Structure 1
Amino acid sequence: MPTMKLAFLSLLMFSCYCIRFSVVLAAATSTISVGQSLTGSDTLVSSGGAFELGFFSPGNSSYKYLGIWYKKTKERTVVWVGNRDQPLTTSSPALAIDGANLVIQGGRTTYHVSNNSVSGSISATLLDSGNFVLREESSGKTLWQSFDDPLDTFLPGMKLGYNRRTGKVWALTSWKNTMDPSLGDFSLSIDFESPDEFVILKGSEKYWTSGPWDRDSQTFSHVPEMRLNYIFNYSFISNPNEVYFTYSIYSSSDVSTRLVMDLSGQIKQLNLPETSEQWFVFWGQPRDACDVYKFCGSFSRCSSNTFPFCACLDGFRPSDLEEWRQNDTSAGCVRKIQLQCEQMGYGNGDKDRFLKMDHVTFPLDYNTSERILDKACKSACSSDCSCTAYAYNGSGNGRCLLWHGDLLSLRQLSEDDPNGNTIFIKLAASELQNSQGINKTLKIALASAVPLVALFLTIYMGCQWKKKRKGKMGPTQDILLFDVDLSIAARTNETSERGIGNENNTNDVWLPLFSFSSVTAATQNFSNSNKLGEGGFGPVYKGKLLNGKHVAVKRLSKKSAQGMLELRNETMLIAKLQHKNLVRLLGCCLERDEKILIYEYMSNKSLDSFLFDEAKRHLLNWETRAHIVEGIAQGLIYLHQHSRLRIVHRDLKASNILLDSDMNPKISDFGLAKMFGGNESEANTNRIVGTYGYMSPEYALEGVVSIKSDVFSFGVLLLEIISGKKNTGFYQTDSMNLLGYAWQLWQEDTALCLVDSVLEHHNSDGMLMRHINVALLCVQEIAADRPTMSEVLTMLTNELLTLPSPKQPAFSYIRTQKIPEPPLYKPDLNSVNDVTVSVVEAR
């Protein structure tokens, strides 16, 4: 009996100790002190509730990690991991302070997060900045902080750079994958060879560079997005002790932010408004292939608005022709004619000249001279044989930029891009004269361009001549699409034979011309097993080229409504308008009365194959749908604003949105697109083409087409993406289509009833309401009331922006019968590029 009493007293004392220990933690939830430990599901929360620290398992991983994440977001957003390379397998890990060090204990494993040798009263506190700080309490001295051991996330107040005295480096490294925070393939760090800029490394190879820090604009030269400086205060510090970059948020900005080294190789600045639970990308780099270091090699230019992206500079040719034919341009270009000074061994300003290039980003690795005149800058490059180019900025003190050796990562921008610069490239005088002569000849020839039919006959005859001469026609033979009167012309000189492209006209686009036999072989003689779907213009097949690349082959029916006009439109537009959210045209075939277009293959086919399929709808969660919506909007903004010609698609719908393997959307089918030149913004047409349910009222009834026609179609598509329902059909009553049903719910303040049932348990009501509001703004009856696509994207992504109330949509109370779609494709096949052509009499 005494033994039982003793045991009971011992148990009671232990329970009291545990209760007291829990009370201590509860009283100071942001701090852990000596003698305490953080175990299991216990967490520390910063005093303002911004961040939380504890143990977690990423995804469905069984490993345990000590991490810091945002407290307010629904999905855990981890910003720091204490044991990224030392995962724990125990189910009961613990964090404690051992002497003056933080240690993670897991079974028999003890992992030292910090390594100090002081003594005294020590505590660790999680701050509202996201920094976990180990301090000596008596002096307040910081012994260690998580900001000194960054993972993949750069928070305001952190440093990126290095300590000159200790050699400490602050750098970011991507996760290995979404469930493994160990070291990944990509890292962001200061460039030790040029310590005023940063580089992304893929392994040990340079992948991207920020360009040097510009003291005038307080930004890095290759990150123009940093100039949108209404949220961030950037600083670049260089002193005898340290070189580092840091940033903070202006006190007036009610937003959380983080910069992440993504495992895809892109750095992303993400913002989280105070009223939101969803992050949106403020900017990302590299933006596309042209931003990747040395993507096109030396002495070349890269343009994301053309295909191929890469072309040699005027006066240069591919260094390896066969590699360029295989789209491997990394070897770059070499001079056609050697510089005079290279031949003579000294600078010779009389024999070498400079070619002016406008609307470019500056190549990498230049030297800068301050307080110099323009003529002196040119002279400095002329007299130096190793100098290959110069640029002059007359503002301020007058900056002279000089390049020596190879020119790398020069990007060609559009004429209206505000970030464009002018550079002067050194060429042999004879080469410059040749280039000017060719350009003059081209201008004269193009001024007398013949009609489309004649030019097409020229192509056909030229192709037949080549076929007789060579015995067969292969995919390396090319046609050139001239940007004059939207005509198609053929080139038969040596350059076109090689299939490289016109080196003297940046507006020209090369497009491979495939032989019918090669297309037949790629599609296994157009077998039904390769058939992806069939639309109003003809079937689409999956093909495999000799190099193993998969393609989509669109074979226009000989009875198709898409004739030569539509073929010209689609070929011209997709070949020239290159954007990540537009489908890419790889070539065409014009043999045997065939009209065949070869596109990049999209493994997930079209949006409608997911959206309106009961079995697949659940694969489209809200994040994926929002990503698709933003991509479509970006593609339309490019067509409406940033392409050289203003373009209205006229047939935007779910079946014309293709999805790649990562569910990135790409707008397809440009056969019905309308082009505007100069300052044109709208036009009248008697040929009403498009798809029932997506046409704007002014276009369907009056033949008036403008960019607002696409905005209307986008609004319809957005409602379909939100609801998972087609616009045509019955909704609650027999007198309304989807627009009318959405408007009725909006009027009754029950708009969330529109949301697809598979999204019912998703906690994004605020974003869903915003998207419904924007969709209704897009489908308003009067075109002038609708926003532009730029405004649409801003309203969708900026949650701080107050949205206007929409007016009643067009066609919202027109009775719609559910018109059965014609059996254009087999039930077990997906719809790809199907186009319904309607001809409506204007009233």
Structure 2
Amino acid sequence: MASKERLLNPTLLLIIIISSLWGPSAASETLKQGDVLNSSQYLVSGKQRFTLGFFSPTSYYGDKKNSYLGIWYTNYTENIVWIANRNRPISDDSIVFLTLDHLGKLMINSSGFGGDPFVIYSGGETENTSATLLDTGNLVVSEVNSNGSIGRSLWESFDDPTDTLLPGMKLGLNHKTGRNWSLISWLAEDDPASGAFTLEWEPKTRRLVIKRRGVPYWSSGLQLSSSKNVSLFDYIHPTKGQDYIINTDAEGQYFTYSLDTEFDSLDQERSAWQLKYWGPIMDGSILIMKMNFCYGYGMDDEGCETWNQPECRLMGRQTFEQKSGIFTRMGPDGLPQLAAGVFDNRPTIGPADCRDLCWNNCDCLGYSGKEGIGSGCQFWEGNVTFNPDDGRSRSRILKYVLTKEDPSNKGNKKWIVPVIVTAILVLFLGTFSLWRIYRQRVDAERREEEHLLELTTPDRLLDAYELEKDGNARHNIKVFSFACIATATNNFSAESKLGEGGFGPVYKGALPEGREIAVKRLSRNSGQGLVEFKNELILIAKLQHMNLVKLLGCCFQGEEKMLIYEFMPNKSLDSFLFDPTKSYLLDWKIRVNIIEGIAQGLLYLHKYSRIFKRDGLEANTNRIVGTYGYMSPEYAMEGIFSERSDVFSFGVLMLEIVSGRKNSNFYNVNGQLNLIGYAWDLWQRGALKDDLWTTVSFCYCPFVKLLE
């Protein structure tokens, strides 16, 4: 015998028969009083963007169990944006219809309800009403005036949202009516019942918040701006064509979003923010939030909130991974056997609840929905092992498996405390050592700085012996003020810059009396500190020779350190030697004079300046300074320098003067990549004279015959 719920009374049967004759057509957008919409009929909005009707979600196994009244984008029944009876499903074999009765009551009648209809809007304010599906996706029950025009709105589906936010819908609070607009996710992929997650707008903090069973799960980030329009939240992916709006008025505050009037694609035209049953917000295939799952660790770059963790989850950054395979445990015979798992068959829990239950159970290593994605859970606990099969599992149910560490194996965590203590101790000792080295260096520089400051009254004369305190030198150098040098170089303008040296740029300037100067401004990252600066002052101040550039003075103020030289109007030798148009000015006699002058200056440095120890043949340095190609091999590779190092550099320079070729840019078809190697090859072959004739001839020198 059929159950009471399946009995169909004559009144319902008569209404269904009449509805098939007088119900709205498939193209209608309005349900008038007395109209009946059965399970095979639909309301379609004016521009056919949205459709209202009865639908049945497809389960994991492809069958359909229950029916619901919903709204979806036309021709996209999988994109359900609103459901009337989400928590009161209708058996799929029931007779069902929607009606707007003579009292203005909008309700669903079904044989599955046992004669008790599901009321969507109770009416009672007026007797003349209609229900219209708008192109915004909003189902509106309105008052119909006596002349047939549409009057005030009595109820609308936008005020009773489910899991989807459409453009123009509100999230927030209406202080006048007390209505709180929020979204509630589905329980599972095939179950529209109220699920674990809610999406709300917090007026005080001005942010979107997702909660899982009332506990903050994710937030969009604080928005403290008083601006009405907010272009982007911290933890929301910017979406093309969407504007986020915060409206504050006398009735309350709410969040909404809008679209451009011109749609770039069908996907944008069908835009809908859906709060998924596992937590995130998605617009079609686009992830609106910068996360997919939150685990309570609090990840600032994604917006995940922090909540209390079970003790077994504190140390590891564990996650769940979706995998295909089976759990096994060791049987009595010592062989692995299928682990059946533990079931929780409560119909009010979904996959998100299964995740949380497993996470808070320190013995749980994995879970799945009872039937893959429906309500209820299956857990695997204790001494079980997951065996992946790359999709070839005997079970079609995918498992969510805990990764990274075994939470049940708590004994293995004994090593954590010693490791942490050791790491902290090493960090402390290392930091202390670095601090001591730093302090020693700072103290040394401070002492040097104090000594220099004692001597640095601007625009005074300073003896070199004051720098070195040995009483041997008597060459005065002037200490210039920073303002004086800045004025002389036009505030170190680009037009005044002569070039860039190893320790910083060089500028041309002019002193108030008209004397031209060259200013070497030491770069802050040059590596030359107070000690090096002082040493250079001592060195150059002692060197007095006609073939050496003359130091006029210095300037130091704070981190600024500068050396002031006499200006050489004829520039450097390379500007003539390697210039095809200017090299003609250097005849052979001039080149010989240049070589002789360099040799005299080098001899002065080695024999008469007293800046080198006469009794030492070699020295060593850890800091290599100079231009590669001019350094002797032992200095460039090992830091060993002596008088022979200068002789080597002098020889390279002499080869360049004779040949007119630059050592570093030299190229020869026989394979030699620099001038030194080429000259050495000629020397070994005894062809130096002939080839030098060729080389010099190539330079178009008018004095080639002097080489004969």
State the TM bucket, normalised to the shorter chain.
0.3 to 0.5
Q: Which structure has the larger Rg?
A: 2
Q: If the length of structure 2 is used for normalisation, what is the TM-score? A: 0.40
